[in-house]
Amino acid sequence: MALYPLKFEPIFKYRMWGGNKLKSELHKDYEEDCIGESWEISDVEHDESIVASGNLKGKSLKELISTYKDDFLGKKVYEQFGEKFPLLIKFIDAKTPLSIQVHPSNEVAKERHNSFGKNEMWYIMQADKDAEIIVGFENDTNKKDYQTHLENGKVLELMHHENVSKGDTYYIPTGRIHAIGAGVLLAEIQQTSDITYRVYDYDRVDASTGEKRELHNDLALDVIDFKRQDSYKTNYVSELNQSNQLVHSPYFKTNFLPINGEIVKDYSTLDSFVILMCVSGEASLICNNIDYKIALGETILIPATITSFKIEAKQAELLEVFM
């Protein structure tokens, strides 16, 4: 059966900090309260994505990789990752702040959890007035100062707080302490990993359990990077009808693609699947004379064997993700 551009059923995740923007802003369809995450493409165990439409409807991401191998992933990607999909793609809605947290590197995650590490990036889609994120430290610090502030409930004083607005982009390498603040809706691209070390959670009680959430301070202490950075935000240009480099890391590459009119994409030299996330407007992806629509809050995966197609839009902004 021939491969085609694929949409998957979103996997909705209850989070104590979740709101309703995934429904009100991105038009996701669910009934539950406090949905904080929509996992758009996932190969996390027990949370594998399922194809939403077309001849392959009902097939899991795992089944697709097992069947189509490098036609699906790309030769280089398949050689490196085998039948594991390397990325986890999400939309996140923070009604209240997320915990202060950090992620381990590939090496530490493999040793401790038999998992990939968790390098990730955020693209801010919408932010309420004065909404902020926490990313890194305001000044260089060290384990001793950090632990003292943590024990005294003042760890937030060490953090770098930054107001955000639509289009702001941040790369969060492993070891960088971070948190999404209240009122932020964003797209997240990350390695396939669900390993998070939570270090501070505002002493909150999770209404779903009646208990405070577990902290992982011992695990976190030796993975945190205590050095401040001069800048945490990713600067990029936004040229219309072009793929503009956003975050190019060793773990994934993301471009910003604003479209008004039509463009032809040629991936013949890429050797990777491509993921398109619609972060504004809507577009038509024309492939083999079939029109695949992608609207705000939707995600579509282009298998590696598809190397050329046309995109048409009156006004759309896409994130273009590949390996």
pLDDT in tens, the chain (323 residues): 899 999 999 999 999 999 999 999 999 999 999 999 999 999 999 999 999 999 999 999 999 999 999 999 999 999 999 999 999 999 999 999 999 999 998 899 999 999 988 999 999 999 999 999 999 999 999 999 999 999 999 999 999 999 999 999 999 999 999 999 999 999 999 999 989 999 999 999 998 899 999 999 999 999 999 999 999 999 999 999 999 999 999 999 999 999 999 999 999 999 999 999 999 999 999 999 999 999 999 999 999 999 999 999 999 999 999 99
Q: Would you say 103 is a known binding-site residue?
A: yes
Binding residue per annotation — 161?
A: no
Q: Could you give the CA distance from residue 179 to residue 136 in angstroms, rounded to a whole number? A: 9
Statement to judge: residues 34 and 119 lie in one domain: yes
pLDDT digits (tens, 9 = 90+) for 99-131: 999 999 889 999 999 998 899 999 999 999 999
Calculate the alpha carbon distances from 290 to 30, 112, 257, 266, 275 in Å: 29, 46, 21, 17, 18
Tens digit of pLDDT for each residue in 149-164? 999 999 999 999 999 9
Within a domain: 233: no
pLDDT of residue 69: 98
Max Cα–Cα distance, the chain, nearest Å: 63
pLDDT at position 116 is 87
pLDDT attached to residue 267: 97
103 and 187, same domain (yes or no): yes
Distance separating alpha carbons of residues 263 and 12, to the nearest angstrom: 33
Rounded-to-integer distance, Cα 25 and Cα 33, Å: 15
Q: Residue 168: inside a domain, yes or no?
A: yes
88 and 211 both lie in a single domain: yes
Q: Where are the beta strands (DSSP E) in 2-70?
A: 11-19, 35-41, 43-44, 47-48
213 lies in some domain: yes
Total residues belonging to the chain: 323
Looking at the fold, whether 133 and 268 belong to one and the same domain comes out as no
Residue 178 marked as a ligand binder:
yes
pLDDT at 320: 98
Residues 190 and 291 in one domain: no
- For residue 265, the enclosing domain spans 244-322
Indicate whether 56 and 100 sit together in one domain: yes
User: Which of 221, 255, 286 is at the close of a domain?
Assistant: 221
User: 98 and 34: one domain?
Assistant: yes
Distance CA 237, CA 256 (A): 9
pLDDT given at position 117: 87
- Would you give the distance in Å from CA 34 to the centre of its chain? 19
Measured in degrees and rounded to the nearest 5, phi and psi for residue 314 equal -80, -40
15 counts as catalytic? no
- Looking at the fold, whether 60 and 110 belong to one and the same domain comes out as yes
> In total, how many domains does the chain have?
2
- Residue 29 domain-assigned? yes
**Residue 137 counted as domain residue:** yes
Q: Which residue of the set 112, 198, 204, 213 is catalytic?
A: 198
What pTM, to 2 d.p., does this model score?
A: 0.96
DSSP conformational letter for 99? P
What is the predicted pLDDT for the residue at 258? 98
- Can you tell me which residue has the tokens 């992608």? 294
> Residue 296 has what pLDDT?
98
φ, ψ dihedrals at 127, nearest 5°: -145, 135
- Together in a domain, 185 and 278: no
